[in-house]
Amino acid sequence: MSLSAENKPIHTILLDASPILLNTPSISTLTATCNTLVTTSAVISEIKGEEARNRFETLYKPFIEIHTPKPESINATDIEVLALAYELECERNGGDWRLRSVPGQKRVNGAPPKKEEQLAIVQADDAPSVADTTRDAAGTAGEDKRLEETTEGLRAATLESAVLGQQPQEESVPLQAKDEVEEILKPEVDGVPELEEDNLADSDDGWITPLNIKRRKAKDEGAADTKDQPQKTLQVATMTGDFAMQNVLLQMNLNLLSTKSCKRITNIKQTIFRCHACFQTTRDMSKQFCPRCGKPTLTRVTCTTNDKGEVKLHLKANYQWNNRGNVYSVPKPTAGTANQKWKGPKSGGGQSGWGNDLILTEDQKEYQRAVKGQQRSRQKDLMDEDSLPGILTGQRSSAGRIQVGAGKSINSRKR
C-alpha cells in the first residue's frame, strides 16, 4: 500500500444510487477521500437515465468494485446496501464488536479483538526491569538534588543583587541550570493561550456568502466537524440520500457520509410537523390537520436523530402563536349546500354566498372534495396539445395548500 493510500481518511466507501445520479460529490473527491469504492449490482440497475448512465460508464465504473452480499439477506436494493455495509464492516474490523444488534441498544456489542500473544509481548516490553528501575530512581534523585542546589544559588544571587541595587550576574548560573529553573519558576499565567488576530477579527458566520455556503450546508446536514480532531481512518463508510437508510445506519453504528461535503454524519436533520395545541408530531408533510386533536395547528419544526435513535426537537425561542383570523362569525348552514343540490334563489352562507365552502375540519365533504379536485388537476396528460403551462394561461396556485378557515383577512371587503 502506498503512502498516499495510508493517509486517506476512509478506506472503503459504499455508494447508493443517489450520489451517482446527482454526481455529488464528484468522482475526484471520492477517490481522494477513500481507497476503494464499492456498490451492488442492484444499485447500478437503478441508473436508467441516459446522461447518468453515460457518466457512470465513463467516470465511476473504472473505480467502483461491484460486490454482492450473501444470499441470506433480502433481495431489495436498500437491504442489499445495508447488508453489504455490515459485511464489509465486520470484514475490515474483525467482527461486529463496534456495532449494535438491537434497536435502542445503548452500548456496542463488545470490545476490540486483541490477540493474547501480542498483548503479552506488549506487556513484557512495557514492564521495566529491576536494574532499570534502580538506575532511574538514582538518576532522578541526583537530578532533583542538583536542581535544588542551583535554585538556591540563583535565589541567593538575586537577593544579593537586589540589596546592592545591581542586576544579577547571569554568568554565575550555568545555561542548562538556568533553563531548568526558569521552567520551574515560570508563572501559571503564561499557560493562558494568547489571543490570535483571527479571533479578534470580525466573524462572518452570521452571513451566508458564496465562500461559506458549502460549509453551512454541511453544518445543517449534520456533518461532524473534525478540524480539531486527530486524523483517523474509517474502515468502511456508506453514502446515501435515503433518510430511512441513514437512520438504520446510524442506529447500527455504521459510518455514514454526507453526499455534499463527504464528511461523517453523526446526526440526521429532518423537518416534521408538530401540533401547537396537543404537541403531537407527524412526519407526513401533506397533513393540514393534527392526527390527534384534529385542529389546523400544525407547525413546521426541525428535528435531529443521533446514532442511538434519540429524536430531539429544535423549537423556536419565545414563539407566539398568531391568533389573527381566529374570531369570526360562521354562517348558518343551509340544507342541500354541502352536496351542491340546493337550487334556491340563494346559494346559502352569508353575503354573496360567503362561507358556503368554509373548511374547518378534515372530515368535511368540502375538504375531501377539494383534495380530490387538487389531485385531479395535477394529473395532466403530457400528450395533450391543448394543455398549456400556468405561466402562459395566468393561472396561479396556492402552493398546493387548501385554505382552512376564513383566512387571515376575514374583515376585508367580500365581493
Instruction: Give per-residue pLDDT as tens, 161-174.
Output: 444 444 444 444 44
Higher pLDDT pick, 306 / 320: 320
Report the distance separating Cα 336 and Cα 22, nearest Å.
Answer: 53
Output DSSP code: residue 128: P
The whole-number pLDDT of residue 413 equals 57
Is 303 marked as a binding-site residue?
A: no
Are 181 and 148 within 8 A, CB to CB? Answer: no
Is 293 marked as a binding-site residue?
A: yes
Predicted confidence (pLDDT) per residue in 405-415, tens digit? 887 777 665 55
Higher pLDDT pick, 334 / 36: 36
What's the chain's average pLDDT?
Answer: 73
Region of poorest pLDDT, from 227-231, 311-315, 356-360, 393-397? 227-231
| pLDDT reading at 300 higher than 90 | yes
The whole-number pLDDT of residue 115 equals 59
**Closest listed residue to residue 283, CA positions, set 267, 264, 265, 305:** 305
Region of poorest pLDDT, from 255-259, 304-308, 395-399? 395-399
The whole-number pLDDT of residue 5 equals 54
| pLDDT reading at 155 higher than 80 | no
| pLDDT reading at 10 higher than 60 | yes
Report the distance separating Cα 77 and Cα 16, nearest Å.
Answer: 9
**Grid cell for residue 280:** 403531537
Name the strand (E) or helix (H) holding 18: helix 17-22
* Burial category of 317 from C-beta neighbours within 10 Å (exposed 0-12, middle 13-18, buried 19 and up): exposed
Report the distance separating Cα 126 and Cα 128, nearest Å.
Answer: 6
Number of CB atoms found within 10 A of residue 374's CB: 14
pLDDT confidence bin for 341, thresholds 50/70/90: low
The whole-number pLDDT of residue 127 equals 53
| pLDDT reading at 121 higher than 60 | no
| pLDDT reading at 282 higher than 60 | yes
> What's phi and psi for 24, nearest 5 deg?
-135, 120
**Grid cell for residue 414:** 367580500
Is 275 marked as a binding-site residue?
A: yes
CA angle at 137 for the pair 132 and 139, rounded to the nearest 5°: 95
Highest mean pLDDT out of 62-66, 189-193, 205-209: 62-66
Region of poorest pLDDT, from 321-335, 356-370, 390-404? 390-404
- Are β-strands 255-257 and 234-239 bridged in parallel, bridged antiparallel, or unpaired? parallel
**Grid cell for residue 63:** 473505480
The whole-number pLDDT of residue 232 equals 74
